Structure 1
Amino acid sequence: MTLAAPASRPTIRTQPRFLRVWGSQSAGALADQILPVALSLYVIRQGGGAGAVATILAGRAVALVVCLLAGGVLADRVSRTRILLAADVLRAVAVLTTVLVLDRLPLAALALVTAGCGAAEALSRPALRSLVPALLPDRLLERGNAFVSAVHRGSAMLGALVGAALVAAIGTPAALVAAGVLFALGALAVAGVPDTATAKPTGGVLADAASGLREVRRRPWVVAVMSAVAVQLFAGTAPALVLLPLIAERDFGGELAYGVVLAALAAGALPAIAVAGRWRPRRPGLVGMLALTAYAALPLSLAVPLPLPVTAACFAVGGFTVELYFVYWLSALQRAIPAGARGKVLALDQLSAYALLPIGYALTGPLVAVLGDRTTLLAAAVVTAAATALTLLVPGVSRFADPGPEQVRAD
């Protein structure tokens, strides 16, 4: 009698549906980074200042805030792969159409392009996150999520460089064509991938949001951290990203330096994934929030005249601290929030983070006009560090967990 050969253990390489979706998202993530870089440099070439760049960036941020919750609801009602396909097709059409009429578009209209692409991105994010478990066996779930996270971080680094290099070498239209083609390739990759998960309509949107809000309000440490991150994006990220292309053009020699600094921000996040995965401190909140105060290095490095390599290193530090915080924070929410409310709370966490970002973009131009870029950036650094550090005064934050009586006294 011959014994049957043992079944081989599944690997990512043996999951063709996941690999197609992963390839699709890789192309789309790269294009998502090329687009804002190319358009920001374009408006500067056309004579636009901080206000024009802020308008371009704010378009995407507003769309994310408005459409993210709708994307979560849609992902529970419609085939997730169809959502991913539609989002890529819409972005490809929008970007390639923009190339054809770019010379005739007013600068302000470009914000509509980034807003449309941001809306498609917001609708596809919940679909992707809820689709991954349907594409992989349970034992490969963590590895699959790591693949998705890694490609987004890597695309952020590569896309910034590619976008800046294309604009510098052959112009904005070529960079936009590259983004449009990548979106189209993403659509082709995901087309026909079946979604084996059954979409089931749930309760109303307002009722779902209210139940998620109740879970957040029951935990002051969650409210404190969400609020601090919202302030950080408003006061730190918005001024830094608006003024970076202008400072790169003025002090660092041009457009390629802009891409280098953005790439450093993404590159700094990659080692943080490995560190957070291996090191589990007793007080992850203390480690995460103290690390996050170093995010003030972004605006501070632009306020003080520094060589390009030093500025890039400061942005890399910022990327590292954000990713270190995020791994501990996401794991804490997954443990603390009941399964029935987990998705809604995670959606609210992302929404709260983006809520003030469009306002930060909008205010940066007027503040620079009144205070100058250096004072604006110095103030941004102070507010960013202070808002983050103050959360440690709230019981539970240092542990990223609901505090018991003894923890309240200790914190």
Structure 2
Amino acid sequence: MTASTSHRETTTADGRLSRYPVFLRVWASQSAGAVADQLLPVAFALYAVQRGAGAGTIAVILAGRAIALVVCLLAGGILADRVSRPRILFTADVLRAATVLGALLTLNRLPLAALGIVTALSGAAEAMSRPAMRSLIPALLPTGLLERGNALVAAVQRSATLIGALVGAAIVAAIGIRAAMGLASLLFATGAVAVLGVRDSVAGARTRTGVLADAAAGVKAIRRRPWVVAVMTAVAIQLFAGTAPTMTLLPLVATEQLGGELGYGLVLAALATGALPAIALASRWRPRRPGVVGMLALSSYAALPASLALALPLPVTAICFVIGGFAVELYFVYWLSALQRQIPAEVLGKTLALDQLSAFALLPLGYALAGPAIAAFGVQPTLLAAAGLTAAASVAALLVPGVATFSDPVGTKSDPAGG
């Protein structure tokens, strides 16, 4: 075990996040950008529907972000372990603000499919900031407050989903796409300004190695922990088989059966609403087997595609999305906190990036196959298959030793440096 890891494990906390103002500063800096991140895809999807686009075009627009995350996440993780993480956060927000503003000024000349490029550029900046934000948290908080700190960050992100979905849908329906894009650009710029002056106390102490060696160290840290590989695989299957067809069909189903744009926003808001009580629970409850709790909860995400497959009325569909939101967030807080404890600080950024990369690796393929699958098999069979695969993958992961506790099994010796 490294000295940095030992320090993180032995530091105690008094239970109050207010005693860590630098953490709160970083947390606040990401709040505005989180709203913009959620506002944009809702606005773009509804704008595409208004312009008469079908499932294929919507999938292209949404896939841009997923492709960028796959391509850029590992680079973001390597950067997070090499340079100042607050500087990465600032640069990412500036790039997103400039990208959205540029698209706004040229919107009349952009074909609908080109919005996929906008989401891709924004997703690339997001890929730079995600590992930096998540690997910065254990440097700002003692280990006893990791669940609470991660829960607070997640609460902002899920509240942002709620606000972004409702605001994005309302603005596009009442005013138009340009107002939504202008607000998103302003929010990104606000996030960049808020992080100015925050310092990363460990940035100067990191070992400088080659980029390939950095990437290899992150891969080794994961390969030496089969339980990490199992969970990553389950989540990748869930996003590929569950999220891609669900999010591709949701705006179309909402337009036909759930009341249009506001129905779409309400369903997405329900997803965020379900996450909030899960965040509160995870910040206080430390189960002995967090993996069992997290993976069994995650299997209930199958309720999302199932609700669309069965053409349930809006209130029931919203309840299913509440359940899905609760499940995902309960899992995520325990999972992220486990990685922050189990993975040494010197490879944490890369490991978190690879975690996200593995999750999103199959998502572009899922979006690409959603349209053909729907055309070949129909909407209902595609969504029912999505529900079945989502539930099965999460439960099957529990068969791997270590998944039940989200930690190395007793007696396992892992190279602390991941090498």
Q: What is the TM-score with the length of structure 2 in the denominator?
A: 0.87
Give the counterpart of 1:110 among 98, 115, 118: 115
Pick aligned residue for 2:362 from 356, 362, 365 = 356
Correspondence for 1:175 among 177, 180, 190? 180
Q: Residue 305 of structure 1 aligns with which residue?
A: 311
Change in Cα spacing, 1:50 to 1:399, as seen in structure 2 (3 Å) is same
State the partner residue of 2:130: 125
Mark the structure with the bigger radius of gyration.
1
Q: Secondary structure at the match of 2:338?
A: helix
Q: 1:88-128 CA deviation, whole Å, 9 max, x = no partner? A: 22111211221122122111111110011111111112222
The residue type paired with residue 301 of structure 1 is S
Aligned partners of 2:344 and 2:29: how far apart in 1?
A: 32
2:241 corresponds to: 235
Out of 44, 49, 60, the position equivalent to 1:44 is 49
Aligned to 1:375: 381
RMSD: 2.5
1:292 matched to 2:298? The reply is: yes
1:396 alignment partner, SS class: coil
1:198, 1:338 → 2: CA distance? Answer: 15
Which residue in 1 is equivalent to 2:320? 314
Q: Distance in 2 between matches of 1:268 and 1:96?
A: 32
Distance in 2 (alpha carbons) for counterparts of 1:294 and 1:400: 19
Q: Which amino acid aligns with 1:99?
A: L
State whether structure 2 residue 209 is matched by structure 1 residue 209.
Answer: no
What is the 5 A alignment of 1:127-142? 127-132=132-137
* Residue of structure 1 equivalent to 2:61: 56
State the match for 2:92 in structure 1: 87
Q: Percent identity, please.
A: 68
Measured against aligned partners, the alpha-carbon deviations of 1:231-262 in whole angstroms (never above 9, x if no partner) come to 01100011111111110011011111111111
Q: Does structure 1 retain, via aligned residues, the 8 Å contact 2:275–2:322?
A: yes
Deviation, 1:404, is: 5.1
Cα deviation digits, residues 180-232 of structure 1 (max 9, x gap) = 11112222223344444434453223223323323333333322221111001
Q: 1:390 to 1:133 in 2, by over 3 A?
A: closer
Q: Relative contact order (alpha carbons < 8 A, sep ≥ 6): 1 or 2 greater? A: 2
* Structure 2 residues without counterparts, runs of 5 or longer: 1-13, 412-419
Q: Are 1:329 and 2:320 counterparts?
A: no
**SS of residue matched to 1:312:** helix
Number of the residue aligned with 2:193: 188
Match of 1:157 among 156, 162, 169: 162
Letter in 1 for 2:313: P
Tell me by how many angstroms 1:58 deviates: 0.8
State TM-score, norm by structure 1: 0.88
Distance 1:10 1:404 in 2: 29
Task: Give the counterpart letter for 1:51 in structure 2.
Answer: G
Code of the residue aligned with 1:370 in structure 2: it is A
How many correspondences in the alignment?
397
The Cα shift of 1:324 comes to 1.6
Structure 1 unaligned regions, length at least 5? 1-8, 406-411
Establish whether residue 67 from structure 1 lines up as the match of residue 72 from structure 2.
yes
2:391 to 363, 380, 385: 385
